[in-house]
Amino acid sequence: MNGYLLPMRHRIGLVVYSGFELLDAAGPASVFSKANDVLRREGRTPFYAAAMISPAGGLVTSSSGATVQTHAIARRAPTSVDTLLIAGGEEAGVRAAIADPALRRWVPRCAVSCTRLGSVCSGAFVLAALGLLHGRSVATHWNASAQLRDMYPTVHVDDDALYVVDGKTWTSAGVTTGIDMALAMVSHDVGSAVAGDVAKQLVLYARRPGYQSQFSALLRAQSQADNPFADLVAWIQANLDRPLDVAALATYSGLAERTFYRQFVAAMHETPARFVETLRLDAARVLLAQTLSIKAIAARVGLSPTSRFAEAFERRFGLSPTVFRTMHARL
C-alpha cells in the first residue's frame, strides 16, 4: 500500500459458533482494535472495522463459558467483509459449524469476494470442509495437523509453522498464534511500525514470524515439569552470546562434566552442543526479521564469526542467512 494511505475502513468478519475458542477470536480482534488506537494517536484514520459473526447471531458461548454478542450471518452480505477469519474450537462445535446450512452457504460466497480469507487453529477444518483450502499450504494446531492432512489430502499442512500465508489465504496454528497472524496482517496493511506499537501495547515478548516453530526447543524444555535442567535452559537462552561449552554448562549446573553430559542427554534426548546450537539458530531466525546486520546477529547468538554462523545456519536450514532474510522479509 503506497505510503500506507487509508482511503476506507477494512471490514473484518470473525466467524464464531457455540464451543469456539475465545482467544482465537478475541486475540485478533484486540490486535485490530489496538491498531486503530495507534492510528488515532498518530492523527490517522482508524482502518479496521471488526465484527463477530455467527450462524444465528446473538449471544454465543465459547468453550471457556464466556459469551460474546454476534451478528447473524443472514444479516451480513457476503460482500460486506474484506477479511474473513474462522475461529477454531471444540471438535463438536467445529462439526456443528461445518454442518450448519447458513454457514455452508454464506462462507463460500464471502470467500469469493473477500480480499483475505483465513482461520485460526481448527477453523481450518471449516474452510477445508467447504473446499476452500484445496491445494493450499496451511497451518493448524500441532495436535490436529495429522487429522487435517488425513481428512483433506489435497491440503498441504505445515506441521510446525505458527501461521502460513498462501495467496490470500492466511491460516494460523491456533490460540496465541492468531495474535501473531493478526499482527502480520496489520504490518501488511498499515505498516510494521504500527504492528510493533500494537505488540508493545499488548505486552508481547516479541512479534513472532510465521515460520517460527510451534514448539521451540525452549518451550519443550519448559514443558517438562520434571526436567532437572529447566533453570539451565533459561540461563542458556539469556546468555547465547557467551561461550556455552560443556565445561561452562556443567559448572552452572554444579556437576562434573561427564556426569552433566550423561544426565543432560538422558533428560533432553540430544547433546548439549546440539541443543545450544538449536537455541542459537532459533534466536537468529527471529533476529533476521529485524534490521540487524548478519555480523551483529552472529555475535548476539554466539556464532561469530559470520562464516561460522552462515555454515551452521545453512547446515540446519538448507539456505544462507541472507537468502533466508530475503525469503522471509517481514510483511
Shared domain check, 167 and 225:
no
Asked if residue 210 belongs to a domain, the reply is: no
Q: Could you report how far apart the first and last alpha carbons of the chain are, in Å?
A: 11
What span, in angstroms and rounded, lies between the C-alpha atoms of 144 and 159?
A: 9
Residue 81: domain span: 2-201
In this structure, are 64 and 185 located in the same domain?
Answer: yes
- Provide the CB-side half-sphere exposure for 111 (13 A, CA): 22
Mean pLDDT of the chain: 88
Same domain, yes or no, for 264 and 131?
Answer: no
Q: In terms of domains, do 248 and 189 share one?
A: no
Query: Across-strand partners of 156?
Result: 137
pLDDT of 328 higher than 70:
no
- Same-domain pairing of 138 and 257: no
The CATH number of residue 57's host domain is 3.40.50.880
DSSP string, 165-203: EETTEEEE-STTHHHHHHHHHHHHHH-HHHHHHHHHHTT
Q: 208 lies in a domain?
A: no
Q: Label residue 13 by pLDDT band (50, 70, 90).
A: very high
pLDDT band for 228, please (50, 70, 90 cuts).
confident
Q: Can you give the CATH number for the domain in which 290 is found?
A: 1.10.10.60
- 84 and 155 fall within a common domain: yes
Higher-pLDDT residue of 156 and 227 is 156
User: Is residue 276 located within the same domain as residue 223?
Assistant: yes
Domain membership flag for residue 43: yes
pLDDT digits (tens, 9 = 90+) for 257-295: 999 999 999 888 889 999 999 899 988 888 887 788 999
* pLDDT bracket for residue 9 (50, 70, 90): confident
Residues 169 and 221 in one domain: no
pLDDT confidence of residue 262: 94
Domain boundary among 145, 173, 201: 201
What is the reported pLDDT for 331? 46
Q: How many domains is the chain partitioned into structurally?
A: 2
Please choose, from the candidates 227, 128, 120, the residue with its C-alpha nearest in 3D space to the C-alpha of residue 179. Answer: 120
- Beta-carbon contacts of 172 under 8 Å, excluding residues fewer than 6 positions away, are 118, 119, 120, 121, 139, 162, 163, 164, 178, 180, 181
207: in domain: no
CA distance 162 to 177: 6
At 87, the pLDDT band (50, 70, 90 cuts) reads very high
In a domain, 8, yes or no: yes
12 and 134 co-located in one domain: yes
248 within domain boundaries: yes
| pLDDT of res. 246 | 95
- Structure confidence by residue, pLDDT tens digits, 140-174: 988 888 999 999 999 999 887 788 899 999 999 87
Q: State whether 173 and 253 are in the same domain.
A: no
In order, the DSSP letters of 275-311 are HHHHHHHHHHHHHTTSS--HHHHHHHTT--SHHHHHH
CA 112 and chain centroid, separation:
25
Q: What is the DSSP string of 102-118?
A: HHHHHHHHHHHH-SEEE
What's the average model confidence in pLDDT over 46-71? Answer: 95
User: Does 197 share its domain with 80?
Assistant: yes
Give 89's DSSP letter: B
- Answer yes or no: do 77 and 37 share one domain: yes
Domain boundary among 201, 233, 267: 201
Which of 218, 225, 320, 213 is CA-nearest to residue 276? Answer: 218
DSSP 230: H
Structural domain contains residue 245: yes
206 pLDDT more than 90: no
Q: Which residues pair with 90 in a beta bridge?
A: none
Domain membership of residue 163 (yes or no) is yes
